[in-house]
Amino acid sequence: MSVALSRCLCRVLSRQTAPSSFLLGEHHHAVQSPWFAPVRTLKTSAPLRAEPKKKKKVDPRREQTLKERMRKKLKKLEKVAPEFIPIEDLITPAKYLDETRKRSAPRLSFEESEGRALLLKEWCRYKQEQHMAEVQAVELSLEAQREALEELKLESEELYQAALKPDPLLFPFTHDGPVYTPPKSKYEAPDGKYNNITKVYTQ
Amino acid sequence: MAAPCRRMASRSLLQFLSCFSRTAVGNVGFRQFSSTSVCRATLMTQSVTERARSPWTLMAAVCLQRFPVISADCTPIEQQFRQMMRQMELEKSLLSDHELRLLEDAERMSRKQADDYDSDQDGDLGDQEIVLAQDLEDSWEQKLKSFQPTPRVTADADEDLTSLERCLADSLFLLAEQQVGGGKLWLLPQTRWQDGETLRQTAERALPAAGLKATFLGNAPCGVYKYKLPKAARTESTVGTKVFFFKAVLSDSGPPAAPDAPLLWAKKSELQRYLKPAYMMTVDRFILSL
């Protein structure tokens, strides 16, 4: 018991003396060269013991001025009008201005040119008749509708009002127009692969 | 729509008053009072009583149209003009890449056949020498020939009046044979109006349920046909009938179910064979086959 106690005491004393000697040694070193202070004595080295400098006011102001300058530059850049996107269809590609592409102009006989002029006039007359017939047919059908609505009004006001209401479900109305040959039943169209080379412009 | 409404309103008012002066059946006093009333409630009751007193029975009919499936054949002048335009456009055009290639190939062939031909003079053309433009044209023609389109005109289908596949180049209109008065008549499918429904709903009912899907074009009728019953059949309440027509377009029809009444699809030119003359005159106005 006493031996254990003495051993503990010895250990404690040795522990106490070791760090003290260590510290003394360290202190000794610190006094010698402040630039090479080891990590453990950073808190106690000379320059860091003073209060830190107050940079709060100057820095935010500098940052703000920088930001404002950047914003002004951006605004100046944005004010420039954006470039127009070129319309590909209206620009004649250079390869079509080549001389070798021109056809030899055929010389038409007098009868041929006369025939063409007369055919154009006949066509004009034909189209005019077609158009007048169309317009007349549409006017007739409108008249028929007007009369129908009149008769309906004579019959009952309620039905007349219901007839005047627009139909919201009618539009959008689509119908595929006539084709040259009627559709084939059970026709499997071949797969079409294509490379899309259209140029996409961004403004 | 606003302008014609106003015109119609003023005209119908005059007709209204004139018609009442003509058909005075002892209720003149009541009608004149109702024509000057402003309150909506009285107008509503007036409309009900008017309906009850009107001597005309209302019916709604549907004019179902199937649009043409293929383009019509060109008239002789159209064919001539088309040919002329093609020629003129060809004359005014420039040579295309394919045509230039054809010309170059022909020139090269003629030079090859000449005696003093130096193959080094020709540039490095690679594929163009192996596959000539003419060969390409031939291969394209072969491909076209291997495709068989459906024939435009089938004489057999045209004869069958009940099939929808007849006369693909014209619009067809649906006719039904219905019992009217004494006997059976061919007319646009019609049915009687019932209380509580709009005329368009009546027209939708009139459509024979033979697997036909129709899109009605609006709520307004497109025409009216009114006829007075023969004097023997006239009673106090019924003088005649007014038939209102509604236009509808046939959307793709499903498998045809067996119809109750005999139906047929007729072109505008064939309608005259089946419809009565007076009816035909009214229907002719709004049936457009342009």
Task: Write the pLDDT tens digit of every residue in B226-269.
Answer: 988 888 777 777 888 999 999 999 987 666 666 677 888 999 99
Q: What is the mean pLDDT of the segment spanning A168-187?
A: 89
Rounded to two decimals, what is the model's pTM?
A: 0.67
Q: What is the mean pLDDT of the segment spanning B86-112?
A: 90
Q: Alpha helix locations (H) across chain A?
A: 2-32, 58-79, 110-155, 157-164
Q: Residue B136 contacts by C-beta under 8 Å, 6 or more apart in sequence?
A: B98
Residues of B in contact with A157 (CB under 8 A): 43, 47, 50
Assess contact for B218 and B204: CB atoms under 8 A: no
What is d(CA B248, CA B66) in angstroms, rounded to the nearest whole number? 9
Question: Which of A145, A160, A179 best probes binding to B when mutated, by most B CB atoms within 10 angstroms?
Answer: A145
Q: Which of B81, B226, B242 sits opposite A119 (nearest CB)?
A: B81
Is the pLDDT score of B141 beyond 70?
Answer: yes
Helix (H, G, I), strand (E, B), or coil: what is residue A38?
coil
Is the pLDDT score of B4 beyond 70?
Answer: no
Q: Alpha helix locations (H) across B55-198?
A: 76-92, 97-113, 127-130, 133-146, 155-159
What is d(CA B92, CA A116) in angstroms, rounded to the nearest whole number? 15
Q: How confident is the model at residue A60 (pLDDT cuts 50, 70, 90)?
A: confident
Is the pLDDT score of A28 beyond 80?
Answer: no
pLDDT of amino acid A18: 46
Mean pLDDT of chain B: 79
Predicted ipTM of the assembly: 0.73
Is the pLDDT score of A25 beyond 50?
Answer: no
**A82-111: per-residue pLDDT in tens?**
788 888 889 888 888 887 888 888 888 999
**B205-236: per-residue pLDDT in tens?**
888 877 788 999 989 999 999 988 888 777 77
Return the axis-axis angle of helices A110-155 and B76-92, rounded to nearest 10°: 130
**Would you call B223 and A147 a contact, using CB atoms and an 8 Å cutoff?**
yes
The single residue listed with the structure tokens 């009605």 is B216
Q: How confident is the model at residue A1 (pLDDT cuts 50, 70, 90)?
A: low
Alpha-carbon torsion (B86, B87, B92, B93), positive or negative: positive
The Cα of B149 is separated from the nearest Cα of chain A by a number of Å equal to 7
pLDDT of amino acid B166: 86
